[in-house]
Structure 1
Amino acid sequence: MKFYRPVWIEISLSNIRDNIRFIRKLIPESTKIMAVVKANGYGHGMLEVAQAAIEAGVERLGVASVEEALELIKNNIKIPIQLLSQPPLSSVKTIVENSIVNNSIISTVYTEDFAKVLSNEAFKQNRECLIHVKVDTGMHRVGISTENTISLVKYISSLPNIKIEGLFTHFAAADDSENPYTLLQFKRFIKLKETLEKHNFNFRMYHCANSAATLNFPQTHMDIVRIGKLFYPN
């Protein structure tokens, strides 16, 4: 469709690639980058931004909805795509159908009900789905409480055809480098990780650093940094 508008924005994909390469220099070599491209790439164009991010070496993409994930897959994106919140139960069949080795839709899970429905559908389709468990360490938006995480992890681990790949949380105030609340959340997350390990739960990925934390709190980088506004041109 051709548009006839009096104003437009020109996006430099070269700058986006350069921003990601700069971020790479700030993090440990073993830490992966998740490029968050939800909300049409924060208004920059989801497909174009995703491709530029992949060209710059990001290992996975983050989205808000199943629809966004499907649009990326439809356009031949071949890296894992993670849903950053637990999707609706009505989307489970579609998620499982798109659980392919190279570009799986990876669900975020924080309720037993969703985990059970996902497991049943994955069993029915004879596929294995990777999931990440989201923990609420103080953002107070979505996620399982730290007190109930072990119980949820035990339950999910008993289910067939789904596997916990990672555990993550989200910081509430990482934009303020002087605010001690971010490190309090991080301390809670690390304590939970250690408790899970004592129960013989060891996951491949732990992550909590958003754009602000990537800059302001390097000790929180862990296995993945989730980069949103930081890699978009300013």
Structure 2
Amino acid sequence: MARILLNKNNLFYNLEAISQKATSKEKVAVVLKDNAYGHGIVEIAKLSCEFGIKKAVVRSVEDAQKIKDYFSYILILAPNVFHNYSHTFHIALNTLENIEKIPENSNVHIKIDTGMHRNGISIDDIEVAILGLLKQKANITGVFTHHKGADELSTNFFFQKELFPKQKLR
């Protein structure tokens, strides 16, 4: 049987390095998609909480439910059902079509497509998205993007990195 050995010291070392780069633990969110990339969503959530991380990102509502006791802020990337969740859960808005499905008083992050073209609101439609969310009486709690190939020098990462802050300020 295959198994993974989690090293708490190594995880804490990495979380500390990321926290320092971000200037504080409060700015860091652990991404726990796909069972924490095979490491165990609950196990990594517990350790991240112990370290002092308050935010997490998951793919589904089901995953958010599994870790809700460990974080005060959970971003759900692909909600398949739109509910007005507790203040802890934040919904990612990936398409303009989903705006009408967002319940009143929901916490929403707008995903901006800065060049990956997989999902997200196009730069030309950001204002439409914001106005639509305001009409739905949603709480816009953040914006984010996905940097394709951030670890490869030959990708569009550097273009996307320049573009995102400009859109965030709009």
TM-score (norm 2): 0.88
1:190 aligns with 2:165: yes
Q: Decide which structure has the larger Cα Rg and report it.
A: 1
Residue among 56, 60, 75 paired with 1:61: 56
Distance 1:26 1:133, change over 3 A: same
**Cα offset for 1:77?**
2.4
- Code of the residue aligned with 1:92 in structure 2: it is F
> What CA distance in whole angstroms lies between the structure 2 residues aligned with 1:35 and 1:23?
10
Cross-structure match for 1:22:
17
Residue among 79, 82, 102 paired with 1:92: 82
> What CA distance in whole angstroms lies between the structure 1 residues aligned with 2:25 and 2:43?
26
Query: Alignment partner of 1:135: what SS?
Result: strand
Residue among 166, 178, 181 paired with 2:156: 181
Distance 1:13 1:117, change over 3 A: same
Query: Alignment partner of 2:28: what SS?
Result: strand
Cross-structure match for 1:206:
none
Cross-structure match for 1:109:
93
Q: Which has the higher contact order (CA 8 A, sep 6+)?
A: 1
> What CA distance in whole angstroms lies between the structure 2 residues aligned with 1:14 and 1:81?
24
Query: Alignment partner of 1:179: what SS?
Result: coil
Q: Note if contact 1:13-1:49 (Cα within 8 Å) is conserved in structure 2.
A: no
Cross-structure match for 1:138:
115
> What CA distance in whole angstroms lies between the structure 1 residues aligned with 2:151 and 2:40?
25
| Structure 1: gaps of 5 or more residues | 123-127, 197-234
**Cα offset for 1:151?**
1.3
> What CA distance in whole angstroms lies between the structure 2 residues aligned with 1:179 and 1:30?
31
Q: Percent identity?
A: 28
> What CA distance in whole angstroms lies between the structure 2 residues aligned with 1:105 and 1:28?
24
> What CA distance in whole angstroms lies between the structure 1 residues aligned with 2:28 and 2:131?
28
RMSD over aligned Cα, in angstroms?
2.0
Q: 4+ runs of 1 displaced by more than 4 Å?
A: none
Distance 1:23 1:30, change over 3 A: closer
